[in-house]
Chain A
């Protein structure tokens, strides 16, 4: 009996191993077609987005994690997309954040100086809280560069009826800015 249970225990460990490795949300997980539609809506362009995966070392992660507001831990890598637009290079960072009971995806748009251009919600599955995709909420992020400028209910006002999602996306953007602050935007593309 003990042997069988010991095997179950070992099998449980093997079943868990893919879960333990945390990864950043890849563009393909968010949906390439959704990203293309977002690029057209936000930047007005159809240019190809060049993606770079930046590894985040254990030392860097450990130093940044105490500053996080939404995530408890950092991913092993960060995906940053770069696209040419009439106004110059623009950077796209895809991510996911929780709504009331589900998860929604969004893209953080930055300019070359690291200032936020927009925060576009790509896919919001829940029936309540989708007010975070309204321009009146999104425009609060524009021009902000520093994580400390992204504070829920202070610099970023709540939108009535969407408290949980508004707080969630605000802190998710805060955490992404911490990462950008640490690793920068300009990286050589890797195939």
Chain B
């Protein structure tokens, strides 16, 4: 019994010492996570599965400052709690970021490693308390396939007061993963033995207009002219180009954000001739979201928030096609109405209802509940 007591005491004290020692060594630990409850209330297909509780993401950040200007950042994620042998649709363990920053000057730094593609609002910053809605906006799941990351290197810094830039060269997309339904989502290599046959270039400019308003624009361009699985395919001239812009505004309890994204695939008929995936010649999407913190109306002194929000999304992964007719099921619109309660800025309890419909009049409705945190 005594042995057990001393073991527990030693363990407790050792664990207490970890963060303090980490601080001394300039190591940092953070993380975020989100538990979701999803319940399909209507599906025109007739498939109406029971509600599901899913601890969708559990993420830990580990960082280290080697000195004042050389730092390391990483993010490791467990999705859907576990991975089971033989289960194809199980969870995953993934490295989502791992890179070294060399900040030579505030105006110029070099970054290398597994990097987030600097496109959109959610992909660079995706901690659950930072966005409304249990699920991430689908425009930023399908057209901007967050969490979108790849190995590469590049530069970053501040161009002028309130104007920041990032520019990277990285491994490109995998041509065989491009599809008519999900766009480039399946074409990500995610740093897993990424082929460098197709190189990608990406960059972002962000500007803080004033305290309340920020705007950003980004691009991503990847060659698709080579493929590791079909080596003799004629894919010369096939290239994916994406442009995106977003805006965020917040003042006195009001918060608003909007995003548009447009992408094209040049010589897409060559891609479809080889892989027969009905890839669209262009993709287009966007969303607007408005929210208001009603708790601030009742008690101006409180730091807690209760945000009522609405979001409208429209996106089409076959906005234009070459050589075949677009599938109406891929022209999607979604409306989400919900509540986000933040008892403190780093914890969010969420509830929302989503109406999803397609151009072919397929209707899908879903109720979501969630809790998320970051530290």
A interface, CB within 8 angstroms of B: 1-2, 5-6, 8-9, 11-13, 15-16, 19, 31, 34, 100-103, 123, 125-128, 131, 134-137, 140, 152-154, 157-161, 163-164, 167
Contacts and interface: CB of A to CB of B under 8 A. Distances in A.
B161 interface: yes
Contacts, number: 106
B250 A136 contact: no
Given A101-B63, A128-B125, A134-B161, A15 B3 contact: no
A149 to B, nearest CB: 14
B68 A34 contact: yes
A128 B6 contact: no
Interface of B: 2-3, 6-7, 9-10, 13-14, 16-17, 20-21, 23, 28-31, 61, 63, 65, 68, 71, 73, 101, 124-125, 127, 130, 156, 161-162, 208, 210-214, 248-251, 300, 303, 345-346, 374-375
A2 B3 CA distance: 5
Given A6-B6, A158-B250, A164 B17 contact: no
A123 B248 CA distance: 26
A137 B346 CA distance: 21
B303 A153 contact: yes
Contact of B73 (A2, A13, A127): A127
B148 to A, nearest CB: 16
A16 B13 CA distance: 7
Given A19-B20, A101-B30, 17 more contacts: A5-B2, A15-B14, A16-B16, A16-B20, A100-B127, A101-B28, A125-B63, A126-B73, A127-B124, A131-B162, A134-B208, A136-B162, A136-B211, A140-B211, A160-B208, A163-B130, A167-B345
Contacts of A161: 125, 208, 214, 248
A5 B303 contact: no
A160 B29 CA distance: 24
8 contacts: A6-B2, A19-B16, A19-B20, A125-B101, A127-B156, A131-B214, A157-B212, A160-B248
A131 B345 contact: no
Contact of A5 (B7, B20, B71, B346): B7
Contact of B346 (A152, A153, A164): A164
Contacts of B162: 131, 134, 136
Contact of A163 (B17, B161, B210, B345): B345
Contacts of A19: 16-17, 20-21
A140 B339 CA distance: 31
A80 to B, nearest CB: 23
Most B CB contacts (10 A, CB to CB) among A100, A128, A134, A159 go to A100
Nearest to A157: B211
Contacts of A101: 28-31, 61, 63, 375
A1 B4 CA distance: 10
Nearest to B255: A160
B208 A125 contact: no
A8 B10 contact: yes
Contact of A128 (B3, B124, B211): B124
Given A9-B9, A100-B374, A160 B211 contact: yes
Contact of B63 (A102, A128, A164): A102
Given A9-B13, A101-B29, A31 B3 contact: no
B372 to A, nearest CB: 14
Given A12-B14, A16-B13, A136-B208, A160 B20 contact: no
A164 B345 contact: yes
B65 A125 contact: yes
Given A100-B30, A134-B161, A160-B250, A9 B374 contact: no
B303 A152 contact: yes
Nearest to A152: B303
B228 to A, nearest CB: 31
A159 B374 contact: no
B10 A12 contact: yes
B19 to A, nearest CB: 9
A5 B11 CA distance: 10
Contacts of A13: 13
B64 to A, nearest CB: 10
